[in-house]
């Protein structure tokens, strides 16, 4: 992130190394030591789509429909790689985040529409993240949810405020590794039927009964606040080099995004597979995170329930960090203020805006239903993030030589059409009375 103090040595060394590598091809780029300097931002963003909202939607999908919704994870991840790479590309080419670009290049009414809706999406995201962290504390340490949520906020605030970006990045990557290891161990414990599961990664299967969850899963993976965040955190690396060398560095960014999103695809798939292997196989429909944890113990064993709690807590805390960071950056950028974590306004945004979801959590709302509904809110906001992103990425005056060409622009609008079409179908299924 450009606004967070960076002391990671990526700057002049990365630019100099890029300048010296003109003659190297793609293959050598992928295995060069320089690539390691550009890995990281994609993994920070990835934590946002293995958050507690994903746990809720994936567990619900696996317990109710078995392996049949695995394809949603595959399609969503492919769309996600394209959108996140485009967001990072916008940040690299323009030197500014998506929010800052929208504020300066769209008319005031549209800035308000985009700004207000993304803020609502950020609040919905924080509801899911802090609720997940609170549930993790409840499962592991038996701390009541209404106390676990503000405790999570304090921890997140201390992690972000005044931190150097590279240190924060390391913390998030470690937590991501914890989540992945927990689910690898879960897969070993539940012994899924891989022969039945594998085809569903590629073969679509959807019905009126599953469309709500399919949309929630889409919203949980392709998250609007993550698109905004990626366009900002990518600026933690040094991209200000000559155009002929910048394209090589863009390949590094694509590798970072693809590897990170691929890891997220594996973890999300593992969530559905575990839920299908345990709950769907046993005929148990899961309607709460606590029920999922409690049911794992008699069905699989106490170790599985412990791994579930550890992974959930790690997911809740790490994704709360990224969602809170994204919210503060969105607010500052849309209001034309510098997104500087050391400024009073940024710190105020860090502490104040999560209070709304914290109050909702303390009010005693149904945690599982809240998690799923929050993901639907994100999915409904997605078009209002994707459309301005594509319009900006196409403009040569914004992107220079890195602007989207015809093929990429067409793919982007196809992705937007799929998401908007699914949203309209979701609204129809939700609000049109059956049988009319």
pLDDT (0 to 100) of residue 15: 45
The tens digit of pLDDT for each residue in 17-36 reads 444 444 455 566 666 677 77
Whether residue 28 is contained in a domain is answered as no
- Collect the ranges in the chain with pLDDT lower than 50: 2-23, 434-436
CB atoms within 10 A of CB 398: 18
Whether residue 35 is contained in a domain is answered as no
Whether residue 33 is contained in a domain is answered as no
Token digits of residue 1: 């992130």
Token digits of residue 350: 């860090």
Q: What pTM, to 2 d.p., does this model score?
A: 0.85
- Cα distance between residue 215 and residue 419, in whole Å: 9
Whether residue 30 is contained in a domain is answered as no
Strand, helix or coil for residue 292: helix
The tens digit of pLDDT for each residue in 370-396 reads 766 776 777 778 889 999 999 999 999
Residue 414, domain CATH: 1.10.4160.10
Whether residue 383 is contained in a domain is answered as yes
Total number of domains in the chain: 1
Name the residue among 50, 280, 21 with its Cα closest to residue 181. Answer: 50
- Cα distance between residue 175 and residue 181, in whole Å: 10
Whether residue 372 is contained in a domain is answered as yes
pLDDT (0 to 100) of residue 354: 85
CB atoms within 10 A of CB 230: 30
Whether residue 25 is contained in a domain is answered as no
Whether residue 34 is contained in a domain is answered as no
pLDDT (0 to 100) of residue 424: 73
Sorted by sequence, the CB contacts under 8 Å of residue 3 that are 6+ apart come out as: 232, 235, 329, 338, 339, 340, 341, 346
CB atoms within 10 A of CB 410: 11
Supply the range of the domain harboring residue 82. 11-19+41-431
CB atoms within 10 A of CB 262: 14
- Cα distance between residue 333 and residue 327, in whole Å: 10
């Amino acid at each position: 992130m450009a606004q967070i103090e960076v002391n990671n040595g990526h700057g002049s060394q990365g630019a100099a190394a890029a300048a010296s590598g003109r003659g190297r091809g793609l293959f050598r780029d992928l295995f060069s030591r320089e690539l390691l300097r550009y890995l990281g931002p994609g993994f920070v963003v990835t934590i946002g789509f293995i958050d507690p909202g994903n746990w809720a939607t994936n567990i619900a999908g696996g317990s109710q429909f078995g392996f049949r919704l695995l394809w949603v994870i595959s399609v969503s991840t492919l769309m996600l790689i394209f959108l996140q790479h485009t967001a990072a590309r916008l940040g690299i080419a323009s030197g500014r985040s998506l929010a800052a670009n929208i504020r300066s290049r769209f008319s005031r009414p549209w800035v308000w529409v985009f700004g207000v809706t993304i803020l609502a999406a950020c609040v919905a995201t924080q509801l899911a993240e802090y609720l997940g962290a609170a549930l993790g504390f409840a499962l592991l340490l038996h701390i009541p949810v209404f106390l676990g949520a503000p405790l999570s906020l304090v921890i997140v605030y201390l992690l972000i405020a005044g931190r150097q970006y590279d240190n924060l990045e390391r913390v998030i990557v470690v937590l991501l590794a914890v989540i992945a290891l927990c689910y690898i161990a879960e897969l070993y414990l539940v012994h899924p039927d891989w022969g039945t599961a594998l085809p569903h990664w590629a073969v679509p299967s959807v019905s009126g009964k599953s469309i709500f969850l399919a949309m929630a899963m889409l919203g949980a993976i392709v998250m609007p606040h993550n698109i905004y965040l990626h366009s900002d955190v990518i600026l933690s690396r040094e991209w200000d080099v000559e155009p002929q060398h910048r394209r090589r560095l863009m390949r590094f960014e694509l590798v970072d995004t693809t590897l990170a999103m691929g890891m997220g695809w594996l973890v999300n798939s593992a969530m559905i597979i575990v839920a299908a292997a345990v709950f769907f196989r046993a005929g148990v429909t899961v309607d709460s995170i606590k029920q999922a944890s409690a049911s794992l113990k008699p069905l699989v064993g106490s170790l599985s329930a412990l791994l579930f709690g550890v992974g959930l807590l790690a997911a809740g805390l790490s994704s709360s960090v990224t969602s809170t960071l994204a919210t503060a950056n969105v607010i500052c950028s849309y209001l034309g203020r510098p997104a500087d974590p050391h400024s009073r306004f940024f710190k105020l945004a860090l502490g104040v805006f999560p209070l709304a979801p914290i109050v909702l959590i303390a009010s005693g709302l149904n945690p599982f239903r809240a998690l799923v509904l929050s993901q639907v809110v994100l999915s409904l906001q997605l078009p209002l993030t994707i459309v301005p992103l594509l319009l900006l990425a196409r403009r040569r005056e914004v992107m220079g030589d890195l602007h989207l060409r015809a093929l990429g622009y067409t793919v982007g609008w196809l992705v937007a059409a799929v998401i908007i079409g699914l949203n309209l179908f979701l609204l129809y299924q939700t609000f049109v009375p059956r049988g009319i």
